[in-house]
């Protein structure tokens, strides 16, 4: 195992939906790839998929697949997918396909056997994502005792969302090993002030700072990651 980290598996969550979890995962994968580490990603649940000749495909999951150095089938990377871009538990109800947490575990265990130097698991939505009326995705993360990376979408209101999410993860008994500042607005008033406050409230290193980029899908994001992760 490379000395890059003691724990090679990280769960990436966000302060909300559309805050840049996939972009952040891509940045981490690209940074690890550049340092000659083997990488793998897992997006157990995706809502908002296009029907193709090969079946349902999610754009974010395809990005993760493309940037992983270990090749796996799409279904291995994204075992639970829904067509409508709505809350997964609602999509599951509409399609009469309940989300079963044991399937998430099975997919995860299969990828673990590939022994990647870095395994990134991308969540869906925010930390408290319902799987059904009884379970949250966070329950699964807690059961697996995973280290967490928090993505903060830098915009007005992010302070409350970030602090509450961080405190909740800690209260759930897990470790936040780092956080990522992802600029989702071209210009955020008092950006540096917000960044400084978050750095004092989140007791973990900022492992990446990703600027707002119009051509973000064409940019090598590894340059924005503080590597190696600790």
Active site (catalytic) residues: 43
Strand bridging mode 80-82 / 9-14:
unpaired
Do 153 and 20 form a contact (C-beta atoms < 8 A)?
yes
The size of the chain, in residues, is 230
Planar angle of CA 151, 81, 28, nearest 5 degrees: 30
The structure tokens listed for 106 are: 């099975």
Token pair 């002030």 is at which residue? 193
The structure tokens listed for 150 are: 């928090």
Do 44 and 12 form a contact (C-beta atoms < 8 A)?
no
Closest residue by Cα to residue 223 from 60, 39, 22, 30: 30
The structure tokens listed for 153 are: 């979408």
Do 117 and 82 form a contact (C-beta atoms < 8 A)?
no
Strand bridging mode 147-154 / 176-183:
parallel
């Amino acid at each position: 195992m490379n000395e890059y980290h003691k724990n090679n598996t990280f769960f990436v969550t966000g302060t909300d939906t559309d805050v840049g979890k996939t972009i952040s995962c891509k940045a981490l994968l690209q940074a690890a790839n550049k340092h000659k580490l083997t990488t793998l990603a897992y997006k157990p649940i995706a809502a908002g998929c296009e029907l193709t000749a090969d079946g349902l495909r999610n754009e974010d999951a395809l990005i993760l697949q493309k940037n992983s150095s270990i090749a796996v089938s799409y279904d291995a990377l994204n075992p639970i997918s829904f067509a409508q871009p709505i809350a997964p538990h609602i999509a599951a109800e509409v399609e009469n396909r309940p989300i079963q947490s044991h399937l998430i575990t099975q997919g995860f265990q299969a990828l673990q056997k590939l022994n990647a130097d870095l395994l990134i698991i991308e969540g869906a939505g925010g930390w408290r994502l319902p799987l059904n009326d009884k379970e949250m995705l966070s329950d699964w993360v807690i059961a697996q005792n995973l280290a967490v990376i928090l993505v903060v979408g830098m915009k007005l209101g992010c302070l409350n969302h970030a602090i509450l999410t961080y405190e909740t993860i800690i209260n759930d008994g897990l470790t936040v090993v780092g956080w990522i500042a992802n600029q989702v607005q071209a210009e955020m008033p008092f950006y540096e002030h917000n960044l400084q406050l978050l750095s004092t409230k989140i007791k973990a290193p900022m492992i990446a700072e990703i600027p707002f980029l119009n051509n973000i899908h064409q940019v090598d994001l590894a340059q924005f990651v503080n590597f190696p992760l600790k």
